Amino acid sequence: MKSCFTLLKKSSRSAARLGVLDTPHGQVPTPIFMPVGTRATVKAMSPLELEELDAKIILGNTYHLFLRPGEDLIRAAGGLHKFCAWKRPILTDSGGFQVFSLAGLRKMKHDGVEFSSHIDGSRFFLGPKESIRIQRALGSDIVMAFDECTPYPCTFPEAEKSLEITLRWAEDSHAQELNDGQQMFGIVQGSVYPELRERAAKAIAEMDFSGYAIGGVSVGESEEDMFLAMEHSVPFLPEDKPHYLMGVGTPYQILGAVKRGVDMFDCVMPTRLARHGSAFVTGGGTIPAKSARYREDFSPLDENCRCYACRTFTRAYIRHLLNVDEILGIRLLTIHNINYFLRLMERIRLAIQNDTLEEQGESIL
């Protein structure tokens, strides 16, 4: 498949890379963080607010959009971009993560998965052909091959069997037709086993996708195992195509992954922690914004942040909103947290450009 990725610069002291990904809806500078918009919306955010934060690309989910509102309705609306009024690029997951997360509601078949809907129990089938068909109807810029997200923990034979399924489904996905301009990424699985990760990366690379993802991480394994999964995957992927780490993660994990050659990230963490009252702050940690310690704290969430929430409101006010269950509190924390991740990626890109990423270390967080 055609690659629309341009590698601009490599770090002299790590595998960190600077690049740009061309899509029908605009260019995406890498390394990049993609806010998660599972059901055609990034929770608590409007498209205008995301544009004001300069989010370059967001993520949607095939499984959930297939169930509600349905591919036919989105196709009739003119595609996912028009349906949700987002003019910039969209990447859609394939539904492979739900093969893992909804294990109690599915039955594995040779050519896909028979699900019982988590909404009403109705049965439907999702496999490589169906997943790519749905993503074609959605009109996303980047579609993901259908895979099985390998559960953790699992034995070597279980992981090997799961990998065989993913490789078979990758070939089936690759054979499906795409819209003009759409790109498809293959997914590397293999759990925590270096031999399987290397085998998977080499096999997926031979299929010549437009980009490559490392899946099956952040599913319960240790951070050390997560980094090892990257180290036994990324070196065997084509250098001239983007590398995407799925579902990760903390600022520290993102920085570590960039140094290991990863270009793209998504995670629900910024929005989910906002809904639970936590704000990311300089240094990569979080503060419990609902805490009584901030009752009379009239400083911003983060003195170093220039997002709307930090320019305009105090910790005391945001704490008040959260403690009286006002929706604005969650919205302000979400704006702040997404801004933190997007500005982190800007700092990382600048450091790679200046070849100072390793020199700056964790001070960049």
**Is 208 tagged catalytic?**
no
Both tokens assigned to 19: 């690049």
Phi and psi angles of residue 344, each rounded to the nearest 5 degrees, phi first: -60, -45
Contact, 303 vs 314, CB < 8 A? no
Q: Any bridge partners for residue 188, and if so which?
A: 214
Strand order through the sheet with 264-267 = 32-35, 264-267, 243-245, 211-214, 183-188, 142-144, 90-93, 58-61
Distance CA 280, CA 286 (A): 4
Catalytic hit among 172, 263, 266, 302? 266
Distance CA 188, CA 205 (A): 9
Distance CA 43, CA 8 (A): 33
Catalytic hit among 93, 141, 147, 263? 93
Taking only Cα atoms into account, the Rg of the chain, rounded to an integer number of angstroms, comes to: 20
Largest CA distance in the chain: 60
Distance CA 171, CA 290 (A): 49
Q: Within 77-193, where are the H helices?
A: 80-84, 96-101, 128-138, 156-174
Tracing tokens 């890379």 back to the chain, one arrives at 17
Q: Tell me the C-alpha to C-alpha distance, in Å, between residue 107 and each of 42, 110, 113, 115, 182.
A: 30, 10, 6, 6, 30
Both tokens assigned to 356: 């100072």
**Is 266 tagged catalytic?**
yes
Both tokens assigned to 225: 């195992």
Distance CA 36, CA 91 (A): 10
Residues annotated catalytic, as ranges: 93, 266
